[in-house]
Amino acid sequence: MDNVIGSALRQARSAQGMSLRQLARAVHFSPGYLSKVENGAKIPSVELAVACDRVLGISPPIADLAKRLPRRRRPVAHPDTVVPAQLPHAPSGFFGRDTELSALTEWARAEPRGPELRCRVLTGDPDAGKTALAVYFGHSSADVFPDGQLYLDLRGSTAGPLSVQAAHVRLLRGVGVGTGSIPEDPDEALAMYRSLTAGRRLLVVLDDAADADQVRPLLPGGGTCAVLVTSRHRMPDLVVRDGAAEMRIGPVPDTATRDALCAGLGTARVAAEPAATSALIAALDGAPLAIRTAVARLRDEPSRTITGYLAALLAGRAAESPTLRTRAHRRPEIRRPRTLTG
């Protein structure tokens, strides 16, 4: 077609006074890919053409031309037959997150609002239980996502975060694309991923994300999928530009911590040491892992007192890091570091 699409795209972009980089941010494709399309070096994907039509108001739409362009078909391993179930096993003894689960369930069961992205970002401290909440929610809401669940550990808090290319490979393999059929070009891989997830009721869990730049190239294109991101960091850019919503995951309520102690140790054992129990609840600071550790160790040692466990816990922390403090400022009766060692 003698680069009709590329010429129309360049003309519309120039008329709007947009640079390649500005357009790239608006349509979520790289400037390099757009440049190749404008110069006729790349055949544009239908997804890109639709996005450019929407942003630039191109008339007649270049998406109509893109749909008619001949393109080499890559063999796909029947992705429509694959229902991924990639979530890790649900955490045992899950507790204390009724409010958060209720909010997530309401969000997931609401009808999609057209093509708008459905994305929630769970943020909080390293020991807040974000991953456990996301995984437990995914299992408990499996009926809402009949087309399956994709799970990806982005390793954002480590020295070696997962690259976008590696993430695309894993996501596409998750929906049934053979490794040899996955495009090497990141934009083409993203276009394939969005095409194969369009119209499907999938839950995509992106765990331990570093920032919005790591998440954005992994977002599906339509509103039928739901995306749950966990991160130690807030992502205001994802909220502003992509319509995500943040949910802060704070400490487990003290009442839930007490309930967990009673359930694991027995009400009588907890009631026998009311002062030590209250002090232990304060020391555990609402951190799910620390609470489960305390319950497990006290349950395994029936003769051990809560007072004795608390003393050993605080002594161990003081030896490790005597300068760190947490809610001790709000609870002067106890002093302990934030790092929880159990």
* Cα torsion angle, 244, 250, 253, 256, sign: positive
Rg value, the chain, Cα: 25
Q: Which of 129, 92, 87, 337 is nearest to 247 (CA)?
A: 129
Banded model confidence at residue 320, pLDDT cuts 50, 70, 90: low
Is residue 152 within 8 A of residue 206, CB to CB? The reply is yes
Structural fold of domain 4-68: 434 Repressor (Amino-terminal Domain) (1.10.260)
Q: Which of 192, 54, 178 is nearest to 114 (CA)?
A: 54
**What confidence score (pLDDT) does residue 131 get?**
96
For 304, residues 6+ apart whose C-beta sits below 8 A from its C-beta are 297, 298
**What confidence score (pLDDT) does residue 2 get?**
58
**DSSP secondary structure letter of residue 157:** T
pLDDT in tens, 194-250: 989 988 999 999 999 999 999 999 999 878 999 999 999 999 999 999 999 999 999
Q: Which helix (H) or strand (E) holds 204?
A: strand 203-207
Residue 1 has pLDDT above 70, yes or no: no
CATH class entry, domain 79-248: alpha beta
Other CB atoms within a 10 A radius of the CB of residue 297 amount to: 14
The mean pLDDT of 117-125, rounded to a whole number, is 95
The mean pLDDT of 298-321, rounded to a whole number, is 89
What whole-number percentage of the chain has pLDDT above 90?
Answer: 60
- As a whole number of angstroms, the distance between CA 168 and CA 186 comes to 8
- HSE-up of residue 277 (Cα within 13 Å, Cβ side): 20
Structure-token pair, residue 331? 């609870």
CA distances from 193 to 26, 186, 226, 299 (A): 18, 10, 14, 47
**What confidence score (pLDDT) does residue 59 get?**
87
Residue 171 has pLDDT above 90, yes or no: yes
Q: Which of 45, 72, 65 is nearest to 1 (CA)?
A: 65
Pairing of strands 119-123, 203-207: unpaired
Structure-token pair, residue 196? 């194969």
**What confidence score (pLDDT) does residue 334 get?**
37
Cis peptide upstream of residue 75 (ω within 30 degrees of 0):
no
For 167, residues 6+ apart whose C-beta sits below 8 A from its C-beta are 152, 154, 217, 218
Residue 304 has pLDDT above 60, yes or no: yes
**Residues facing residue 122 across a β-bridge:** 230, 247
CA distances from 213 to 25, 53, 119, 218, 238 (A): 11, 24, 15, 10, 9
